[in-house]
Structure 1
Amino acid sequence: MTLAPAHSHGQAVWSDTQLLYALEEVVETELNRHLKVAKEWMPHEYVPWSDGRNFDGVMGGEAWAPDQSKVSDVGRIALVVNLLTEDNLPSYHHEIATLFGRDGAWGTWVHRWTAEEGRHGIVMRDYLLTSRAVDPVQLERFRMAHMSEGFESDNQHSMLHTVAYVAFQELATRISHRNTGHHSGDPVCDRMLARIATDENLHMIFYRNLLEKAFELAPDQTMCAVRDVVVNFRMPGHGMPGFERAAAQIAIGGIYNLRIHHDDVLQPVLRFLKVLKIGGLGPEGLKAQEELGLYMGGLDDQATKFDERREALLARRRARAERS
């Protein structure tokens, strides 16, 4: 097997195996950087254990009721979506371990990433149940339904598509957690989600820096992968029960919507990588770059229209509240 890429239109064409090998040194560098800056933290320190009490059922405690929650309505919806997304970690681990492998620096990163992501699900579930923020029966039924479906990437199972997707998705998750904390109405929840968001940001930096090196090695292929991921982007929780309705409420609530997706997720990564300014591309790369630019312009227009509709809806709600 050769590890030298083939060529097309004067550009190297890399297989997944060749790219994994070529990027191994970058992965090791980024892994070491990550381990130096990542701070150890304990999930149990972020949970208000003294607020906890037995639920109904075998323990004979008190059934959950909405008025027991300190969290806002939109905060409850977002917390369930965020936790169910974290719950599907076994499927995500399978996806990236299958693509990246379990050996060398790649394998070390996959396992480290999985361990850190697992901590997020632990602390969120402990917080939600102890503080009675959400309905525990509904949460468990949703978890069973969502995990039974599993998760399969939309991204054609190419290594470059996966790296591009997680670079954007980790930032999207960070923004979603952070905004959920801000809108939750509970300072304890806000502090916990801020801690999780810090981890997600470090994960984004790892994948973003990897994507930057991929652009140097295989600019056309990487540009096409970024184009495909951005144009077809969906959050990993899209298969959970009631996701469309929950996503609409989260969007109106200002936690995650088109404007946030464009301004706070896509633009920062594209700008950092100078994706729309990269030169030296072949025909396929140039086509992908042009399509990406057109898509971003169209998304900005859609976000503006969404902002106008959202503001009109919120104004009607305020008027109704004032009349009642």
Structure 2
Amino acid sequence: MTIAPVQRTATTAWTDARLILALEEVVETELNRHLKAAKEWMPHEFVPWSQGRDFDGVLGGEAWSLDQSKVTPLARISLVVNLLTEDNLPSYHHEIASMFGREGAWGTWVHRWTAEEGRHGIAIRDYLLATRAVDPVELERARMAHMSEGFESDNAHSMLQSVAYVAFQELATRIAHRNTGHHSGDPLCDQLLAKIANDENLHMVFYRNLLRAALELAPDQTMRAIADVVINFRMPGHGMPGFERSAVQIAIGGIYNLRIHHDDVLQPVLRHLKVMEITGLGPVGQQAQDELGAFLDGLNTQATRFDERQAALLARRAAAAAAKA
């Protein structure tokens, strides 16, 4: 992206409909790039079916118990959060299909993205059940509760906010999956989540590049959308049962926390787009850029405080474990 003074455009001129039409060619280019970059993989190849056996109930198999799980307690929590997030795909599809439409390059992308995201939920659930990593009854009850609530993005009220949100959210999801794999204690789980993370990264690149084109087309509106999304960002799983408690454990365990969010999600996307270097903005865009800069400074301070508390907590836990040994 050229960081020269941009040609400002009247904010009122760019309705969602006009933006969607104006970005159609960019979407087609990014769709073609995605299809060339995406590598086919088969979920069933990462599921150890030979470990599977009947559960209790209709088939009269063995009831689930915690000692049957091979994954670490931290990974078990994160896997359930990740899977329930993926399970809400019908709501996500409805949101983006309603916003972007089902025709042309936009529609092709919406359906392709949905198909790839659906693969993630299938693969994780099959792995969890075959390996008895989680309680299948509790998992199903949590799925029903979460999907019954549906999903509506906090601040994706415009086309630009929708694009900005998914640009950050896809990278956040990639990192959550990848770190969960690293903490799982099971090499096969790590391999599976690496495949899913690769898909999520390609999704991020699609939306990030689309956001770059939007910045060039409508810089003030896009800067405002980016600031709104970053300042109010929440992961899509925030409405699931017990999410807050799970999120705390995931944060302390180092899978996803404020430091990771600031350093590995927000900053890479913003740096790639050179958001803070753009000049020539109008009043709306300049105010949004200033707000974004102030927010990032504050978030970095919060992340540093979290790092200190996390280190102290882990040190206490280590001391307590040593004392018991």
Which bin holds the TM-score, normalised by the shorter protein?
over 0.9
Q: How does 1:56-135 map to 2 (within 5 A)?
A: 56-135=56-135
TM-score, with structure 1 as normaliser: 0.97
Check conservation: 1:171, 1:204, Cα contact below 8 A.
yes
1:276 & 1:18 partners in 2: Cα distance?
26
Partner of 2:267: 267
Matched letter for residue 296 of structure 2: M
Partner of 1:280: 280
Partner of 1:155: 155
Larger deviation, residues 150-159 vs 108-117: 150-159
How far the C-alpha of 1:174 sits from its partner, in A, is 0.1
How far the C-alpha of 1:12 sits from its partner, in A, is 6.6
Q: Deviations over 1:33-62 (max 9, x none)?
A: 000110111110010111111111111111
**What secondary structure does 1:196 align onto?**
helix
Corresponding residue pairs, total: 318
1:97 & 1:154 partners in 2: Cα distance?
17
How far the C-alpha of 1:156 sits from its partner, in A, is 4.1
Larger deviation, residues 9-18 vs 199-208: 9-18
TM-score, with structure 2 as normaliser: 0.96
Check conservation: 2:8, 2:220, Cα contact below 8 A.
no
Check conservation: 2:8, 2:281, Cα contact below 8 A.
no
1:190 and 2:190 are equivalent in the alignment = yes
Check conservation: 1:76, 1:134, Cα contact below 8 A.
yes
Partner of 1:44: 44
Check conservation: 2:91, 2:150, Cα contact below 8 A.
yes
Matched letter for residue 246 of structure 2: A
Matched letter for residue 30 of structure 1: E
Partner of 1:4: none
How far the C-alpha of 1:155 sits from its partner, in A, is 1.7
Partner of 1:318: 318
Check conservation: 2:11, 2:221, Cα contact below 8 A.
no
Check conservation: 1:171, 1:201, Cα contact below 8 A.
yes
1:105 & 1:149 partners in 2: Cα distance?
30
2:16 & 2:35 partners in 1: Cα distance?
26
Partner of 1:207: 207
1:156 & 1:303 partners in 2: Cα distance?
25
How far the C-alpha of 1:11 sits from its partner, in A, is 5.7
1:219 and 2:219 are equivalent in the alignment = yes
1:53 & 1:13 partners in 2: Cα distance?
60
Check conservation: 1:164, 1:211, Cα contact below 8 A.
yes
Highest RCO, 1 vs 2 (Cα 8 Å, sep ≥ 6): 2
Matched letter for residue 158 of structure 1: S
How far the C-alpha of 1:296 sits from its partner, in A, is 0.3
Partner of 1:19: 19
Partner of 1:144: 144
2:304 & 2:140 partners in 1: Cα distance?
37
Matched letter for residue 292 of structure 2: L
Matched letter for residue 125 of structure 2: R
Matched letter for residue 287 of structure 2: K
How far the C-alpha of 1:13 sits from its partner, in A, is 3.2
Matched letter for residue 187 of structure 1: P
- Report the RMSD for the aligned CA atoms in angstroms: 1.2
Q: Deviations over 1:187-226 (max 9, x none)?
A: 1100000000000000000000000000000000000000
1:308 & 1:84 partners in 2: Cα distance?
30
Check conservation: 2:151, 2:236, Cα contact below 8 A.
yes
Check conservation: 1:174, 1:196, Cα contact below 8 A.
yes
**What secondary structure does 1:172 align onto?**
helix
How far the C-alpha of 1:24 sits from its partner, in A, is 0.1
2:300 & 2:110 partners in 1: Cα distance?
34
1:156 & 1:173 partners in 2: Cα distance?
17
Partner of 1:308: 308
Structure 2 vs 1, CA of residues 95 and 10 (structure 1 numbering), >3 Å: closer, same or farther? closer
How far the C-alpha of 1:10 sits from its partner, in A, is 5.5
How far the C-alpha of 1:153 sits from its partner, in A, is 1.1
How far the C-alpha of 1:275 sits from its partner, in A, is 0.4
1:72 & 1:87 partners in 2: Cα distance?
22
Partner of 2:247: 247
2:258 & 2:100 partners in 1: Cα distance?
31
How far the C-alpha of 1:157 sits from its partner, in A, is 2.0
Check conservation: 2:8, 2:218, Cα contact below 8 A.
no
**What secondary structure does 1:63 align onto?**
coil
1:249 & 1:221 partners in 2: Cα distance?
37
